[in-house]
Structure 1
Amino acid sequence: MSVPNSSGMDPDGYILSISQDPIQPEFQPLLEDVRASLSQEDLGLDGVYLYGSVARADATPGISDLDLTLVLREPPTAPRLARLEEIRRALEQRHSEVIKVDFDIGSRGNVLAPENLHRWGFWLKHHCRCLWGNDLSLHFERFRPSRDIAVALNADVEQVLAGYLTRIAQTDAEQDRLRLQREASRKIVRATHVLRSEDATTWPQTLEEHVALFVRRYPTMITQVAFFLFEARNPQAQVDNFTTRLQGFMEWMAAQAPKG
């Protein structure tokens, strides 16, 4: 049996899968409500997966998010997406033990498509635990670290961050703006992993590990990335400061990305 180490990998060089420790009792009522809410009607669900801090059993009540991946049997229709959004919002309003409920939605065909191996295959195998339904992670072998995986996981980063900048500029409510800054900061910190060197021997799990690995390669950028780590934990920057820093860091990252 392989003994885990602190590098995010086991001694055989495979990326560690998420813990299967029991879910913290503080979040059990929420997960029971999730199951009841998603099973009260036919939503076309193939499987429901938990990821993030609740899945790792290291979440903090009142501070952490609830992160769920929903895999549907068929590509989602607009009415079905709208209904899932209604359910997500209702769960968020009923449960103060998390500050946000997230649904990442895909379809079975997309998950199992060979071209999505490094994105969906890796995601389900190493970041998710199946709550109920078909566990598609069983279709995949364990993965070794590679830049291809990092790029696949962050293929949407420019689009997502541009969306956050638009929403931040349009919101008048400070609480909503700070929440968006927190989410955007988490995204950009994780996206720094696309700049990992091909011969990197570790795989980050937490935001702090992402920052440490990034700074090891780009030590002169420690102040810039530390700003986003702070905002990911305790957002408080003024809107102009945040958007200027985010746009600048996005441009810098784009300039560093390997060409071709």
Structure 2
Amino acid sequence: MERRGLDAYGYFEREGSLGLVQPAFAAPVAAARGRIAEAYGPRLHSAYLYGSVPRGTARPGRSDLDLLLALHREPCDEDRDTAEVLGRVLDQEFPETDGVGILLYGKDRLLSERERYDLGWFLACLCTPLLGADLAEHLPRYRPDSLLARETNGDLALVLARWRERFEAASEPAEYRRMSRGFSRHLVRTGFTLVMPRWGGWTSDLTESAEVFGRYYPRRAAQMRDAAAVALAPVADRDVVRGYVEDLGPWLAAEYTARHGTKAPR
């Protein structure tokens, strides 16, 4: 059975590169690089791309542009306001993107022991350097083991509580569409990391993630395949979102805790 995403010694290979960015996304990536530097100036330590754009699998008009910014200090309200405006302007200017998301963290947090197997792993293995000195040089190498599984997605039960609040407060189709996209992506990735140590490999492909999950949990395989499809083509269907927060999500959270334990509090 093929094992993707690992080197010959069983460590994660960093996925994505600027060389894989498709021509359709070259302009938004270049604009993001320039405007991030201009907007944050000396506050910025480094910037990274992640997701389908640096993997070369993005779909024009349907994929979002995902960015992570490491600041020299913890972000403040002004930093977050700047990110919100920057993301909105980039998304409006480039029809190739279906949303621009910007994560903000202080570099000390990204390199902290507490985040070693969560944000640290995410940056070192799933993020592509765009600007500045690469913080991954100060992080260890990682294997797809139970510790990593616990510290990345072992907090689904807490996440579900927030999802339920959003679901109960929602009333518009656009809200259900956004939730269907975000919730389904999270559930498919959590389903994959649940079985990742047993499978012994890594993939960020949502369809493949659902298929790998289904080999270990055949009774839930169809649900996870459907969630992967919604992640790629969101729907404004309240019942779909309800199924995530009332059925698939709670089952997955319980199984995850039983298999890997609960993520350390943040």
Q: Deviations over 1:41-81 (max 9, x none)?
A: 33621111001110111211111111111111101112221
Aligned-partner residue type, residue 11 of structure 1: A
Q: Deviations over 1:100-154 (max 9, x none)?
A: 1111221111011122211122112211111001210111232121122122222
Are positions 1:16 and 2:6 aligned together? Answer: no
Residues 169/92 of structure 1: CA separation in 2 closer, same or farther (3 Å cut): farther
Contact 1:231 1:237 in 2 (8 A): no
The aligned counterpart of 1:35 is: 33
Aligned-partner residue type, residue 151 of structure 1: R
Moved more, 101-110 or 36-45: 36-45
- Give TM-score, length-normalised by structure 2: 0.86
Contact 2:176 2:236 in 1 (8 A): no
- Give TM-score, length-normalised by structure 1: 0.88
Distance of 1:241 and 1:119 partners within structure 2: 29
1:114 aligns to what SS in structure 2?
Answer: coil
Highest RCO, 1 vs 2 (Cα 8 Å, sep ≥ 6): 2
Aligned-partner residue type, residue 233 of structure 2: N
Q: What value does the CA root-mean-square deviation take over the aligned residues? A: 2.2
State the number of aligned residues: 256
Residues 63/134 of structure 1: CA separation in 2 closer, same or farther (3 Å cut): same
Residues 244/41 of structure 1: CA separation in 2 closer, same or farther (3 Å cut): closer
Structure 2: segments with no counterpart, 5+ residues: none
The aligned counterpart of 1:67 is: 66
Structure 1: segments with no counterpart, 5+ residues: none
Taking only the aligned residue pairs, the percentage that are identical comes to 29
**Offset of residue 224 of structure 1:** 1.9
**Offset of residue 205 of structure 1:** 2.3
**Offset of residue 159 of structure 1:** 4.2
Contact 2:10 2:143 in 1 (8 A): yes
The aligned counterpart of 1:92 is: 91
1:123 aligns to what SS in structure 2?
Answer: helix
**Offset of residue 165 of structure 1:** 4.1
